[in-house]
Amino acid sequence: MPDTTQAPPDLTAWTCPAPLRDQPKVVMGHGGGGVMSAELVQNIFAPAFGGRVLSQLGDSAALSLGGIRLAFSTDSFVVRPLFFPGGSIGDLAVNGTVNDLAMSGARAAFLSCGFILEEGVEMEVVARVSHALGAAARAADVEVVTGDTKVVEAGHGDGVYLNTAGIGLIPDGVDIRPQRVVPGDVVIVSGAIGVHGVAIMSVREGLEFGVEIVSDCAALGGLVATMLDVTPDLHALRDPTRGGLAAALNEIAVAARVGVEIREKAVPVPPEVDGACTMLGLDPLYVANEGKLVAFVPRQHADAVLAAMRAHPLGAGSTVIGECVRSHPGMVVARTGLGGTRVVDLPIGEQLPRIC
Amino acid sequence: MPDTTQAPPDLTAWTCPAPLRDQPKVVMGHGGGGVMSAELVQNIFAPAFGGRVLSQLGDSAALSLGGIRLAFSTDSFVVRPLFFPGGSIGDLAVNGTVNDLAMSGARAAFLSCGFILEEGVEMEVVARVSHALGAAARAADVEVVTGDTKVVEAGHGDGVYLNTAGIGLIPDGVDIRPQRVVPGDVVIVSGAIGVHGVAIMSVREGLEFGVEIVSDCAALGGLVATMLDVTPDLHALRDPTRGGLAAALNEIAVAARVGVEIREKAVPVPPEVDGACTMLGLDPLYVANEGKLVAFVPRQHADAVLAAMRAHPLGAGSTVIGECVRSHPGMVVARTGLGGTRVVDLPIGEQLPRIC
């Protein structure tokens, strides 16, 4: 008989691994996509689940099944509020998973969708979220094919939590993963950063910044397809969501064992995001995006890839922000406007919780 | 630009569809797998998401991708308590999705796993759930390949909510779906029913029934493979979870437009489940199972399939409970011990909420 019919595992001998020892309870930072999230994965999930694929810790898993190459990814969504300027939890649930698949070069084909509803939530809210999710799926050319609904008692949950998982085909000849990044690779970001996180914060806190800041939430499968038309030889792609651009760059630097050097002035931060971040005490490099990507491109293809990105509506603001270097492997360094440098650390937790 | 960057859809013209009009707010029954769940899917999710595959409403979606046939399924898990006799939310998260895939004849290959953790939950609880999930995955021979963690504030959530999605290959020549069921098909259940729901209820309510009732939670991929070794021509399979055997039989009867006739005395209800149900005012036909299946098998294969099931550890209690008939299409009728008949309706909501 399988283990599954036995009593829960005896963990009386379990001791909390060292990095978590100061945190015997879950805190918000464990969901932040930074150091604490990584500690949770490395010390609890990875040993418990084992497996070669999970250990790669990419945005999605690249799998072989029945002779084809699949990308497979999941995200849960607990954003507050459910609707915000530029999108909703339904848009995020589609675009978040579509984008994770796109970061391995896969075009999303199918989505699953799990609803956890709170007893007492207005049926109209469920309908609005569902319509937004359906519209986002059609815009991203992905089909919702299977789903599930659970209901929890009033006072638990927060109206609507969502989970999506997605499957996409990885095209032949495409092998996009952090380990392929080498010194000399050019780092390109597809447009203005920090917009989604600031948009959420402004509505959550009722802040006014003179202009309404609208989330950049969008599906990036088409932009990535455009880039792959130039060359299948993209080395790595990341969508800088939780933890922002800083987390994405650090993850690549560590996985590829290269240094990443960015020019701070080259990072596109819109004035309204910059202003809001100053007021809120945030660093735009650490603020989440939901419709941007950062690409690590071989030098010989960088100009052509950049031109193709700029010609796509979702990549019009694309720009080179830096390059990969042999020095300081595993570390991200920013050249400041004053001619100095500063280390861009992996964030510990999350500046703005529940932004996705 | 895609819809995803626009404002939330304007639903000012939206009117709650008729069947939901008496329920303008979500209630527990919408997650119960009965009439109310179906109304939610038919009136909100299906119109919002569209799509041909979702409309089949099976346990999993059967898809074509890159020339292979995939099964894809998802479930969220909100069971209380997290640990119960015979299993945990971690076991359910694996077995629930593995079993949904098995019901289309697919052997699960890969799982995703999304955690929604409540701030303040003990890290040891997260570790115990993770270890149980990992052990269940190894027992079911499925690999957890991608995951995600979100954290919500203390007082929201319930410690741990889980979502899994799974992918499996559908073997050549296998085409298992409700629409293939025809009059004359034999209805076989793989063992004692009602055990999981009563196990959960007994620990939740602190009830004592003389003997401890242990959940039947198990992965059924191996049992289904054994059945397919006899013949690939199984017509339909269901794991009778929420809504119990009654919901599973009704769904097949409606989808296949056949009548289903069961002999009430033939349905295997263990004495302790029967006793607990009597005490709690429950009907065992409506109580959830997590390690059982009901099969609709062409008459000429029924004896051989039944023998193969009985030879498998998870099918030792298999028995024929009835057959499909031409009369009363879409309806399930039970022949009672007294020579009469009664209609076995689709449940409205759920007798025992949050059992998975």
Q: What is the pLDDT of residues A13-32, one digit of tens each?
A: 556 666 566 678 999 999 88
Asked if B78's CB is within 8 angstroms of A123's CB, the reply is no
H or E segment at B47? helix B46-49
When mean pLDDT is compared across A166-175, B107-116, B252-261, B345-354, the lowest value belongs to: B345-354
So what's the pLDDT on residue A102? Answer: 97
State the smallest CA–CA distance between residue A336 and chain B in angstroms.
Answer: 33
pLDDT of residue B13: 53
Q: Cβ contact (<8 Å) for A130 and B65?
A: no
d(CA B151, CA B160): 9
Partner-chain contact B4 A136, CB within 8 Å:
yes
d(C-alpha B106, C-alpha B86), whole Å: 25
CB-nearest partner of A134 from B48, B77, B87: B48
Interchain pair B50, A134: CB under 8 A: yes
**pLDDT (tens digit per residue) in B132-154:** 999 999 999 999 999 999 999 99
B200 contacts in chain A (CB < 8 Å): none
Lowest-pLDDT choice from A240-244, B16-20, B154-158, B169-173: B16-20
Residue numbers in B near A214 (CB within 8 A): 5
Answer whether A31 sits within 8 Å of B149, measured CB to CB. Answer: yes
Residue A172: CB atoms within 10 A of its CB come to: 8
Least confident range from A3-7, A240-244, A305-309: namely A3-7
Q: What is the pLDDT of residue A13?
A: 53
* Residue A11: predicted pLDDT: 52
| Partner residue opposite B128 with nearest CB, options A9, A88, A109 | A9
Please report, as a single letter, which amino acid is at residue B178. Answer: P
Which one, of B220, B207, B113, B200, lies nearest residue B160 by Cα? B113
Say whether A76 and B163 touch across the interface (CB within 8 A).
Answer: yes
Asked if B45's CB is within 8 angstroms of A2's CB, the reply is no
CA B81 to chain centre: 19
- CA separation for the pair A196, A88 (Å, rounded): 11
Task: Specify the DSSP class assigned to residue B154.
Answer: B
Mutate to test the interface with B, among A1, A5, A289 (most CBs of B within 10 A): A5
| Cβ-count burial B317-339 (b if 16+ within 10 Å, e if not) | bbbbbbbbbeeeeebbbbbeeee
Residue A19: per-residue pLDDT: 58
Helix, strand, coil proportions of chain B in percent (round to 5)?
35, 25, 40
| Residue contact A113–B49, C-beta within 8 A | yes
User: Is the Cβ pair A148, B24 closer than 8 Å?
Assistant: no
Distance from CA of A69 to the nearest CA of B (A): 9
**Contacts within 8 Å (CB) and 24+ apart, A172-175:** A173/A232, A174/A104, A174/A105, A174/A228, A174/A232, A174/A234, A175/A105
Give the separation between CA B217 and CA A191, rounded to whole angstroms. Answer: 49
Window from A31-40, A161-170, B157-166 with minimum mean pLDDT: A31-40
CA B251, CA B49: separation in Å to the nearest integer? Answer: 21
Chain A CB contacts of B159 below 8 Å: none
- Inter-chain residue contact A49 with B130, CB threshold 8 Å: yes
CB B321, CB B192: distance < 8 Å? no
Least confident residue range of A266-280, B119-133, B204-218, B290-304: B204-218
Q: What is the DSSP letter of B171?
A: P
Given this model, what pLDDT does residue B211 score? 78
R_g of chain B computed on alpha carbons: 20
Q: CB atoms < 10 A from the CB of B87, how many?
A: 30
Could you tell me which residues come within 8 angstroms of residue B127 by beta carbon, excluding any fewer than 6 positions away?
A11, A14, A16, A44, A48
DSSP at B215: -
User: Closest Cα partner for B97 from B164, B19, B173, B21?
Assistant: B164
Q: Is B67 exposed, middle or buried (0-12, 13-18, 19+ CB in 10 A)?
A: exposed
Nearest CA-CA distance, residue A277 and chain B, Å: 22
Q: List CB contacts of B294: < 8 A, sequence separation 6 or more.
A: B187, B188, B189, B190, B237, B238, B239, B240, B245, B248, B249, B321
Determine contact, residues B291/B217, Cβ cutoff 8 Å: yes
Exposure of A131 in the CB half-sphere (CA atoms within 13 A): 17
A87-88 vs A68-77, strand pairing mode: unpaired
**A40-84, pLDDT tens digit by residue?**
888 899 889 986 666 555 678 888 898 899 999 999 999 999 999
HEC assignment per residue over chain A: CCHHHCCCCCCCCCCCCHHHCCCCECCHHHHCCCHHHHHHHHHHHHHHHCCCCHHHCCCCEEEEECCEEEEEEEEEECCCCCEECCEEHHHHHHHHHHHHHHCCCCEEEEEEEEEEEECCCEHHHHHHHHHHHHHHHHHCCCEEEEEEEEEECECECCCEEEEEEEEEECCCCCCCCHHHCCCCCEEEECCCCCHHHHHHHHHHCCCCCCCCCCCCCCCCHHHHHHHHHHCCCCCEEECCCCCHHHHHHHHHHHHHCCEEEEEHHHCCCCHHHHHHHHHHCCCHHHCCCCCCCEEEECHHHHHHHHHHHHCCHHHCCCEEEEEEECCCCCCEEEECCCCCEEECCCCCCCCCCCCC
User: Quick one: average pLDDT of A196-201?
Assistant: 92
What's the pLDDT tens digit per position in B41-51?
A: 888 998 899 86
Residue with tokens 């399979």: B237
**For all residues of chain A together, what is the average pLDDT?**
90
Closest CA to A194 of A76, A290, A93: A290
Q: Which residues of B touch A1 (CB under 8 A)?
A: 218, 313-314
Q: Torsions phi, psi of A225, nearest 5?
A: -60, -40
- Tokens 């990885």 sit on residue: A170
Mean pLDDT of B52-65: 71
Nearest chain B residue (CA) to A77: B150
Set of chain A residues whose Cβ sits within 8 Å of the Cβ of B77: 150
Query: What residue in A sits closest to B75 (Cα-Cα)?
Result: A148
pLDDT of residue B163: 98
Model confidence at B9, pLDDT cuts 50, 70, 90, reads very low
Measured at the alpha carbon of residue B220, what is the angle toward residues B218 and B224, in degrees to the nearest 5? Answer: 165
Q: b or e along B248-268 (b: 16 or more beta carbons within 10 Å of the residue's beta carbon)?
A: bbbbbbbbbebbbbbebeebb
Say whether B76 and A27 touch across the interface (CB within 8 A).
no
**At B217, which amino acid appears?**
C
Contact A76, B148 (CB under 8 A): yes
Contact list, A9 vs chain B (CB under 8 Å): 128, 131-132, 135
Q: Are A190 and A318 in contact (CB under 8 A)?
A: yes
Closest residue in A to B125 (Cα) is: A25
Q: Is the pLDDT of residue B77 over 90?
A: yes
φ, ψ of residue A125 to 5 degrees: the values are -65, -45
Interval A183-198 mean pLDDT: 97
In angstroms, the CA A71 to CA A62 distance is: 5
Task: Verify whether the Cβ–Cβ distance A138 to B50 is below 8 Å.
Answer: yes
| First-last CA distance in chain B | 40
DSSP 3-state of B307: helix
How high does pLDDT run on average in chain B?
Answer: 90
Chain A residues touching residue B30 (CB < 8 angstroms): 117, 149, 151
Beta strands B107-118; B143-152: pairing state:
parallel
Condensed to tens digits (0 to 9), the pLDDT of residues B163-203 reads: 999 999 999 999 999 999 999 999 999 999 999 999 998 88
CB < 8 Å to A104, chain B: none
- Interface contacts A/B by beta carbons within 8 Å: 383
Q: Do A2 and B218 touch (CB under 8 A)?
A: yes
Kindly report the number of other CB atoms within 10 A of residue B285's CB atom. 25
Report the gap between the CA of B336 and the closest CA in chain A (Å). Answer: 33
Beta bridge partners of A333: A261, A343
Q: Which of A26-35, A314-323, B60-69 reaches the highest mean pLDDT?
A: A314-323
What are A326's two structure tokens?
Answer: 């042999």
All structural domains of chain A, each given as residue ranges with its CATH number in brackets, are 59-174 (3.30.1330.10), 178-343 (3.90.650.10)
Q: Which position has the higher pLDDT, A20 or A268?
A: A268
Angle between helices A221-230 and A299-310 (to 10 degrees): 130
